[in-house]
Amino acid sequence: VPSSPPPENGLKKTGASRCQRRGTSSKKGRASALRAAFSAFVKAREVPAGAAGAVWWRCCRQTFRERGGIHRHVGTQHGAELRPPPRGHGHGHGHGQGQGEAHRGAAGRERGAEVCDELPDTRHLGPGELESKAGEVLLYYCYCEVRDPEKLCAWQKALCEHLHLTGKVRVASEGINGTVGGSKAATSLYIEVMLSQPLFKDILCQDDFKRSAGGAHCFPDLRVGVFKEIVPMGIDPKKVSYKETGIHLSPQEFHREVEQYLSQASQGQSDTILLDCRNFYESKIGHFQGCLAPDIRKFSYFPSYVDENLELFKNKRVLMYCTGGIRCERGSAYLRSKAVCKEVYQLKGGIHKYLEEFPDGFYRGKLFVFDDRFSICSNEDVISACRYCGTLWDQYKLCSSQHCRQLVLTCPSCRKKGLTACCPVCQEKELEATSGASGQTLKEECECTKRRPRVPELRVILCLVLSVPDAAECTGRFY
């Protein structure tokens, strides 16, 4: 007797099972291909470390000293590049096509992607959300090849105006550098749009934006422009490129390095220099313990300072830091170009990111910022003094003399006495102006400027590391 055919639902179940098995097998295959691509990508970025046989990893102008760090970076920044295409996509070339996409993605970052000039839809936001006074200030930068700086500049201006943001944005063929303030709704949307911009999509991430309390009121207006450099060092970016930067250290790694440096320095055994890349008025109100702070008025003096002090850096390990990390990018590249240091490291994300993780760490005092707040605070230390009476004071005001406008530390008591200028020359000019002799102009150069050489002497900040008797025997200027 012939057997009866299986029930129809049995056929369906069997077919479904086969499809499930094929789907599971396909998923496993894609997962295996992804793991292989991930491993190959990480392996290709290995560089020899200091210790024999040890390796670090270098990717996206960053150096990773721990395997977990490079894995997190590749997973978050390069995951889309490594993911194999769906089965059948690319005429059956599967895994090979995926690798090709990864290579093209890397090449695209070097060539520079097109600028998308679309503006975000803000209709979902409530009335006044974009113009709320309570907000924040963003600080960020991105080094990348920009083929059309003018177009990027126009888009940035339109975007910031659309979101009611104020601040300063510098655009160049080497990238973008910005600090903008506005409502939290506006800054959040700004970050979202920046991360989706094809030009920055594979480079910028959420962590690259440093946030602090503030708003649109922290800036007088919006200024967006095209420049030769996104941070003015005064050297052609083609001669000293951000691509030759030092080794990036996370805040945790930098903290450990500073801890080790201070321990060794207290015993006179350190071969490390902790270098502050900022201007003198920035380090004056806040700095890392035991740092070397060049007495420079602007970053374009930094190369001259390095040239005049090459012996100081000879055979030294240099730990560099600045506000948000951008000055260290090319500052470390310039120092490395002199080929005198053992190694050059820099704090990734700058002091801003360090203070987020170590508010009571080795950085003491306030962090100077380039907006109407002048500084932001993470600890209660006051490490600077009033210019006139010497009492502890760290809140900057602009010099009251209209021809000068330099920053001055003058306490409330001295300000009540009329001491509101940065030096006696400026104070005299201010008195001349207020007494009605506005037609007379004093020709003297401001005392602060006159006494400050273009390439100043070395200044070392050691008061928080050394005891007073030890400090008295050292040369230099102490706080």
Q: Which residue has the tokens 């200027």?
A: 477
Question: CA-CA distance, 224 to 151, in Å (whole number)?
Answer: 12
Phi-psi group of 6: left, alpha or beta (phi > 0 → left; psi -120 to 50 → alpha; rest → beta): beta
Take residue 193 and report the two structure tokens written for it. 């749009």
- Contacts (Cβ under 8 Å, ≥6 apart) of 460: 291, 292, 293, 474, 476, 477, 478
Fill in the DSSP letter of residue 460: B
Question: CA-CA distance, 371 to 135, in Å (whole number)?
Answer: 14
Phi, psi of 250 (to 5 degrees): -65, 160
**Quick check: is 322 catalytic?**
yes
Measured on CA atoms in the order 151, 157, 161, 165, is the torsion positive or negative?
positive
SS3 labels along 358-417: CCCCCEEECEECCCCCCEECCCCCCCCECCCCCCECCCEEECCCCCCCCEEECCHHHHHC
Q: Which of 160, 322, 411, 448 is catalytic?
A: 322
- Spatial strand order of the sheet with 166-172 comes to 210-214, 135-143, 175-183, 166-172, 222-226
Distances (CA, A) of 33 to 26, 44, 87: 10, 16, 12
Question: CA-CA distance, 318 to 313, in Å (whole number)?
Answer: 8
Distances (CA, A) of 271 to 41, 264, 423: 35, 9, 38
Question: CA-CA distance, 181 to 216, in Å (whole number)?
Answer: 4
Phi-psi group of 390: left, alpha or beta (phi > 0 → left; psi -120 to 50 → alpha; rest → beta): left
Q: Which residues are catalytic?
A: 322
